[in-house]
Amino acid sequence: MGRSDKKRIVLKVGSNVLTKGTDHISRGKIEDIGSQIVALQDDYEFVIVSSGAIAVAKQFVNLESNGIPINVKQALAAIGQPHLMRIFQESYRDLGLLTSQCLLSYSDFEREQSKKNIVNTINVLIANNYIPIINENDTVATDEIQFGDNDKLAALTASLLKADILVIATNTNGICTKESVENKTYQTITEVADINSLEKEIVAEISTHGTGGMKSKVQAAKIAQDSGIKTWIVNGLGDNFIINAMHKKVPFTSVKPESEKEKI
């Protein structure tokens, strides 16, 4: 099934965005993303890569996931995933949007047949107005092959699906210069092509709920860049964050694709 002429956005939403920095999944944030998809649907088609299954499980299971064995985290993900999908489904049904679930593991991107199946399935879903919501298949992933809060998963998915933009929603205004973080003025690097220079600006940190941090986001941007895809690292905590980024109303980091590097 062929592509439409709409631009394709792969939107990666981290746990810190979905919880809005709390211990609970924010239905309001999920609705905010859905409202933006509705507003943009004439020109854009969306694939969502969502974290948050373990964060949802913590609402039902009194179990601390930091520092616990990987198999317990996998069990938490198995508990939380259907609840997370139910929240998406209920919220999006009210907006007139249809949702679907795709669970992927790292090995799926290493086999040609699996890659074809992913592309074919997702293209059929999109053509029939279903929004694919992708998550790592946590119950089969092991310590070595986890994606880093789904940043790498999102980049590999964007590359495979020939997306136009990879939007990584996080809890900061993109990537700030190291100096500005250290002196607490927080100046966003708005446009960049050189990934190596970007990596040097990263201050070591880790997000509260997520397993990523800025390093994994820069690595994801590199994967996208190599496939000719631009990456936007945006603050997803505010309402309308995608639309605001499109209209340059908020500071965010845009990583140019390979094809545009020489234009700088």
Q: pLDDT value at position 2?
A: 56
Q: Report the C-alpha gap between 207 and 15 in whole angstroms.
A: 9
Q: pLDDT value at position 202?
A: 81
Grouped pLDDT means (10 residues each) for the chain, 264 residues: 83 93 90 98 97 85 67 84 95 97 90 96 97 86 59 95 97 90 88 90 56 80 96 97 97 87 48
The answer to whether 55 and 26 are in contact (CB under 8 A) is: no
To the nearest 10°, report the CA torsion of 80, 83, 85, 88.
-120
Q: Report the C-alpha gap between 31 and 47 in whole angstroms.
A: 15
Q: pLDDT value at position 100?
A: 98
* Sheet of strand 7-13: strand arrangement: 98-104, 130-136, 44-50, 7-13, 165-170, 230-235, 253-255, 191-192
Q: pLDDT value at position 206?
A: 44
Q: Report the C-alpha gap between 214 and 181 in whole angstroms.
A: 13
Q: pTM for the full model? A: 0.91
- At 133, phi and psi to the nearest 5? -110, 115
Three-state DSSP state, 204: coil
- Residue listed under structure tokens 């709390």: 22
Q: pLDDT value at position 181?
A: 84
Q: pLDDT value at position 43?
A: 97
Centroid of chain to Cα 104: 14
As a CATH number, domain 7-261 is 3.40.1160.10
Q: Which two tokens stand for residue 97?
A: 């949007």
Q: pLDDT value at position 157?
A: 97
Q: pLDDT value at position 264?
A: 40
Q: pLDDT value at position 62?
A: 72
Q: pLDDT value at position 72?
A: 80
